[in-house]
Amino acid sequence: MRTWTRFGVCASICAVMLFPLYAMLVVAFTPKSELFNGGTHLWPARFTTDNFTNLFDRFPIGTWFTNSVLVAAITTAVAVTCNLLAGYAFAKLHFWGRSPLFFLILSTMMIPAQAIMIPQFRMVSALGIFGTFWAVILPSAATAFGIFLARQFMQSVPDELLEAARVDGAGNLTIFLRIVLPLCKPLIAVLVLLSFMAQWNDFLWPLIVLKTPELYTLPVSLRFLQGQYDANYGGLMAMALLTCLPLVVLFVLLQRYFVQGLARTGIK
């Protein structure tokens, strides 16, 4: 297929894929009165930052933003560490029950989160962490997808490297830290991004287990805006923009590693 045909097809698809984000951007800056006048809203007559200033007036955005960052960062740290360790173990260490255990862990991906929400918060209150950030961090750090990616990726680390290190007398931990991890930078990027993103975007669980509004994370604010009867799209889009902007920035910065990392999970 000729280059320009390919470009044309791709560009059109991209235009369609970009349209929702464009809509969000435009409406975030459209004044409320214009939103209800039945027009197309594709290019408002007036631009305003009222939607944003309103948000900052009504809600403790700064606090919620900090909460989101804190919770997402810690969850990511815990989850990625656990996933790397476990991934390495499943990829390179031989221990009794390794295969069945791995499949057992994979099967947890099939559990729908909402179906176990009630037992999960009974667990959380039994552990005495209900109402604290740990109630959000710990359950979210338990994810099988990360272990799966880590194991796939680490399988591509050549065994000879590890053998050589062992012959030199290195212990397992040293091999892991000094040899394997430095080779895993793309994997770490993928795990960090996916974990941070999943935690940042979660709204239902934090809403239920964080009973104090001061502890809320940013996406929860979107539920406030949806209100009991409201359809204030201007405010909603403004908040939505604030909510996804940090992730978009993070993603654009890390995207090279992300693609590399996924590639080397060797899904083949």
Partner 1 sequence: MSVTRRQFLAGATGVAASTWLTGCGGFSKSSSDSSTSKKTVTFMTWASDAEASAFKRLASAFEAANSGVTVDLKIVPYAEMFTGVDAQLQAGTAPDVFRVDYPTMGLYSSTDQLLDLTGHLDSTLTSDFIPALYQAVQFDGKPYGVPHQTDTTCIVYQPAMLQAAGITSVPDSLGSAWSWSEFSDVANKLKASLGADVAPFAYDWQAAGAYRWLTWLFEAGGKLLESDLKTAAIVGAPGTKALEFTRSFFENEWVPKNTSIKGAYPDTVFISEKIAMSFVGDFLLPGIDDGVKNKFEWKATFQPQDARASSDLGGNALVATQQASDPDLAAEFLRFMVSADNMSAFCEEAVELPTLQSLVGEKLNYATRPDLMPIFAQQATTMTADDVAQVTVPFFGQINTLLADQLEQCFTSGQSVDDTLSNIANAVETAAKG
Partner 2 sequence: MAAVETVDRTTAERGGSHGRRQLVIREGVTGYLFVWPNLVLLTLFLFVPLGWALLLSLQDAKSFGPATWVGLDNYRTLFTDSVFWRVLLNSLVFTAATVPTSVAIGLVLANLLNRALPARNSLRTIIYLPIVISGLVTSLIGLLLFDEGVGILNGVTRSLGLGNVDWQTNGGLAMLSVVLMTLWTRIGFAMVIYLAGLQDIPEDLYESAQLDGASELQQFRFITVPMLRASTLFLVVMNVIWSFQVFDVVYVMTNGGPGFSTSMLVTYAYDRGFGPSRDFGYGATIGVVLFVITLVFSLIQLRSSRQEA
Among 31, 44, 60, 131, binds partner 1 (CB under 8 A): 131
124 binds partner 1 (CB under 8 A): yes
Diameter over CA atoms, the chain: 76
CA distances from 187 to 98, 157, 190, 191 (A): 22, 12, 5, 6
Q: 31 near 44, Cβ under 8 Å?
A: yes
* Of residues 66 and 230, the one with the C-beta less far from partner 2: 230
* Of residues 23 and 70, the one with the C-beta less far from partner 1: 70
Among 6, 46, 98, 122, binds partner 1 (CB under 8 A): 122
CB of 142 to partner 2, least distance (A): 4
Q: 239 near 167, Cβ under 8 Å?
A: no
Among 208, 247, 250, 254, binds partner 1 (CB under 8 A): 208
Contacting partner 1 within 230-259 (CB under 8 A): 230-231
**Which of partner 1, partner 2, none does residue 149 bind (CB under 5 to 8 Å by kind)?**
none
CB of 233 to partner 2, least distance (A): 5
* Of residues 62 and 97, the one with the C-beta less far from partner 2: 97
- CA-wise closest residue to 217 among 140, 151, 133, 144: 133
58 binds partner 1 (CB under 8 A): yes
211 binds partner 1 (CB under 8 A): yes
**Which of partner 2, partner 1, none does residue 174 bind (CB under 5 to 8 Å by kind)?**
partner 1
227 binds partner 1 (CB under 8 A): yes
**Which of partner 2, partner 1, none does residue 64 bind (CB under 5 to 8 Å by kind)?**
none
81 binds partner 1 (CB under 8 A): no
CB of 172 to partner 2, least distance (A): 4
Tokens 């934090």 belong to residue: 206
CB of 178 to partner 1, least distance (A): 10
**Which of partner 1, partner 2, none does residue 183 bind (CB under 5 to 8 Å by kind)?**
none
Draw the binding track, 23-42, toward partner 1 (x: CB under 8 A; -: no contact). ---------xx--xxx----
- The per-residue DSSP string of the chain comes to --HHHHHHHHHHHHHHHHHHHHHHHHHHTS-HHHHTSSS--SS-SS--SHHHHHHHHHS-HHHHHHHHHHHHHHHHHHHHHHHHHHHHHHHH---TTHHHHHHHHHHGGGS-GGGGHHHHHHHHHHTT-TTSTHHHHHHHH--HHHHHHHHHHHHTS-HHHHHHHHHTT--HHHIIIIIIGGGGHHHHHHHHHHHHHHHHH--HHHHHH--SGGG--TTHHHHHHH-SS---HHHHHHHHHHHHHHHHHHHHHHHHHHHHHHHTT---
Applying CB under 8 A, which residues contact partner 1?
Answer: 32-33, 36-38, 58, 67, 70-71, 74, 121-122, 124-125, 128, 130-134, 174, 204, 207-215, 220, 223-224, 226-231
